[in-house]
Structure 1
Amino acid sequence: MKSKLRISKMAVLAVALSVVAAPHSAAQTYPTKPVRMIVASGAGGGLDFVARLVGPKLGENLGQTVVVDNRAGASGSIAAELAAHATPDGYTLILLSASLVVYGMVNKTRYDLFRDFAPVSQVAAAPYILTVNPALPVKSVKELIAHAKSNPSKLNYPSTGNASLAHLATEFFAISTGIELVHVPYKGVGAALPDMLSGRIHMSMLSVGSVFSHVRSQKLRALAIATATRAKVAPELPTMIEAGVPEFTVTQWHGLLAPRGTPRPVIERLHREIGKAVQQPEIASRFAVDGTEGIGSSPAEFAAHLRSERDRWAKVIKLANIRTD
């Protein structure tokens, strides 16, 4: 009887130890197959740029291919819903931008960004930049404001969807300067660019990483940058504050989330490899060309950043009276 009892206790202990060791074992062997990175935008925008630059290096660090899967629409909400229902094993991740945080504050979604996901790392950040099509007869923020006031509701701007960061930032600019603009939502920056370059879209407030190559080629004219101090990528550009719009700073960021329940050791492994990837000289230098900065923050730091962004843009949503679709 005592012998059976000892065997039973040993069996229970073995099971308990295996449960404790399982996450660590998962981290040691992870990944054993390709990792899917769902990108909350279409091809051609700043988020896609970050994914396709960092993805291969992350895959190299992990020893497996990272497959970039673009899912455009609803400011990234379509991608988020897909990722939220994925198995939480580290093989499905989502790369998102600030737009997805603000979208969920205005629209009803079948997921909760703060409940259904585990933060991994903020990957990169890029300031917003105010640009116009060169055909528009303005060369400064002051001239743009004057032109808009003379032509109320005649100038339009793009966004990556209702309640996206581009939508909120541009409406905040309009409110701050007393002008009226027409909002034209797209499924992503890549979808908006043809109209921006052709002149069907007059102006834009988007991330430097999304549009600066077109500024360099003079297909778009930059008027100001939404940073607190002048940016290294374009030191000749005034800040929005210098241009006469007080306290106007906007930064687009890109971060990685995993479905809630993903083993903590896997989260930590992903965070470490992201940090290594964005610090690689070839990636850092390519980021710098378009005014983007690699971050590689910890899961805790990224979680705090997400909460801070939610609180900040909630005030703008109320001020601009942004409503659901």
Structure 2
Amino acid sequence: MKTLVIHAAIIGLLAPSAALAAYPERPIEMIVPAPAGGGTDTAARKLATILEDRLGTSIAILNVAGGGGSVGATQFMRAKSDGYTLFSTWNSPLTTVPQVQKVAYDINSFTPIASTSETAYTLCVKADFPAATGQAFLDELKANPDKYTYGNDGIGGTMQLAAERIFQAKGVKAVAIPFGGAGETLQNFLGGHIDIYGGSISPVIPYVQSGEAKCLIVTSAAPVAALPDAAGLAELGLGSEETLLWRAILGPKDMDPAQVETLTTAIRAAVNTPEYVEFLATRGETPNVITGDALARRLAEEYDGLARAAKALGLGN
């Protein structure tokens, strides 16, 4: 009888560990702070389908758009720290939006799990623009302060701050014209309403291939294969001013480390599957898994860099 009691006690002690080891035991909800059908949403949904097989559970996508991603981030921040609500986002709601509007969270309000992919922004001009290299482009702008207009993703948006980090470092002044996103910026660029396209790479590639546009700078330190004529920032002596569009999956604050480890392993494997790598390539993105403390450092460093650019522009919440 005493032996049975001891066995029962041991089983009781082991039960929580066994339950934890079984994570996830039920479906996961993934909040995406963007409308359905956009770049962030499609990237999240594609990755979720691969993760479902690896985690052995379904993943439901919940789109919570608004406020440049801040509405979804705020809703997610209130989620239980039980590992069954995740946040699939791009970096802007975390590092850019808080520079220009008051939000109910900061970069320490979440548990960094893993980044998934990244891509540069780019600055492009029409074929007849009087510059053919990144350095010549900056020289032309510097020689003609405020002559040229560049489209971007909104006042204080990531593209504007990315461009201004470059311009401020080189003493360049250009007129920022805000639009609702890369698609709207591209339309106005092609229509001749602005001189410079500032936005993500994938929408402008067809026009580079047709010869209608030429992209002269990317906002990554290294060059981008899809835009062979565009200078990377390191080539221009501006490697420290790199700004990327990157995506990540985060957990609620104080999430169980064992659950984080399970998700990290699954995400790393999913991102590097040929299926997802090929999917990213069609969008001009590359896989890049950064986890844990390294991801937290990336968030902090980018936040600080964009804060300096916002302050120089007189922006702030």
User: TM-score, normalising length from structure 2?
Assistant: 0.79
Give 1:266 shift.
2.1
Answer yes or no: is 1:253 the counterpart of 2:253: no
Cα deviations by residue, 1:290-312 (Å, 9 ceiling, x for unpaired)? 44221222223212222222233
User: Which SS does the other structure have where 1:256 is aligned?
Assistant: strand
Cα deviations by residue, 1:117-138 (Å, 9 ceiling, x for unpaired)? 1111011121222123668776
Asked if 2 retains the 8 angstrom alpha-carbon contact of 1:99 and 1:166, the reply is no
Cα distance in structure 2, aligned partners of 1:217 and 1:36: 42
Tell me the amino acid that sits aligned with residue 227 of structure 2: A
**Residue number among 171, 176, 180 corresponding to 1:182 in the alignment:** 176
- C-alpha RMSD of the superposition: 3.6
Cα distance in structure 2, aligned partners of 1:71 and 1:211: 27
Cα distance in structure 1, aligned partners of 2:62 and 2:126: 31
Answer yes or no: is 1:84 the counterpart of 2:77: yes
Give 1:45 shift.
5.3
Cα deviations by residue, 1:227-254 (Å, 9 ceiling, x for unpaired)? 3343333334333454687865322221
- Distance change (3 Å), C-alpha of 1:44 and 1:250: farther
Tell me the amino acid that sits aligned with residue 283 of structure 1: Y
In structure 2, stretches of 5+ residues that fail to align are: none
Answer yes or no: is 1:108 the counterpart of 2:116: no
Q: Map of 1:95-244 to 2, 5 A cutoff? A: 95-100=88-93, 101-115=95-109, 117-132=110-125, 140-141=133-134, 142-143=136-137, 146=140, 150=144, 152=146, 155-159=149-153, 161-175=154-168, 176-186=170-180, 188-189=181-182, 192-209=185-202, 211-212=204-205, 215-216=208-209, 220-240=213-233, 242=235
Asked if 2 retains the 8 angstrom alpha-carbon contact of 1:145 and 1:177, the reply is no
Give 1:151 shift.
7.7
Larger deviation, residues 74-83 vs 243-252:
243-252
Give 1:276 shift.
0.5
**Residue number among 235, 246, 262 corresponding to 1:269 in the alignment:** 262
Cα distance in structure 1, aligned partners of 2:56 and 2:207: 35
Cα distance in structure 2, aligned partners of 1:53 and 1:149: 46
Give 1:171 shift.
2.2
Asked if 2 retains the 8 angstrom alpha-carbon contact of 1:135 and 1:199, the reply is no
Answer yes or no: is 1:302 the counterpart of 2:295: yes
Match of 1:30 in 2: 24
Cα distance in structure 2, aligned partners of 1:268 and 1:24: 16
Cα distance in structure 1, aligned partners of 2:42 and 2:189: 18
- Distance change (3 Å), C-alpha of 1:36 and 1:147: same
Give 1:79 shift.
1.4
Tell me the amino acid that sits aligned with residue 89 of structure 2: L
Match of 1:319 in 2: 312
User: Which SS does the other structure have where 2:289 is aligned?
Assistant: coil
Tell me the amino acid that sits aligned with residue 63 of structure 1: G
Larger deviation, residues 117-126 vs 301-310:
301-310
User: Which SS does the other structure have where 2:22 is aligned?
Assistant: helix
User: Which SS does the other structure have where 1:322 is aligned?
Assistant: coil
Cα distance in structure 1, aligned partners of 2:256 and 2:264: 13
- Distance change (3 Å), C-alpha of 1:46 and 1:133: farther
Larger deviation, residues 168-177 vs 252-261:
168-177
User: Which SS does the other structure have where 1:253 is aligned?
Assistant: strand
Give 1:322 shift.
2.2
In structure 1, stretches of 5+ residues that fail to align are: none
Give 1:77 shift.
0.8
Match of 2:13 in 1: 17
Asked if 1 retains the 8 angstrom alpha-carbon contact of 2:125 and 2:196, the reply is yes
Cα distance in structure 1, aligned partners of 2:139 and 2:34: 30
- Distance change (3 Å), C-alpha of 1:15 and 1:81: farther
Cα distance in structure 1, aligned partners of 2:60 and 2:125: 35
Tell me the amino acid that sits aligned with residue 17 of structure 1: L
Cα deviations by residue, 1:82-135 (Å, 9 ceiling, x for unpaired)? 1112233333222222312132244221223313x1111011121222123668
Instruction: Give % identity.
Output: 25
User: TM-score, normalising length from structure 1?
Assistant: 0.78
Asked if 2 retains the 8 angstrom alpha-carbon contact of 1:99 and 1:163, the reply is no
- Distance change (3 Å), C-alpha of 1:64 and 1:310: same
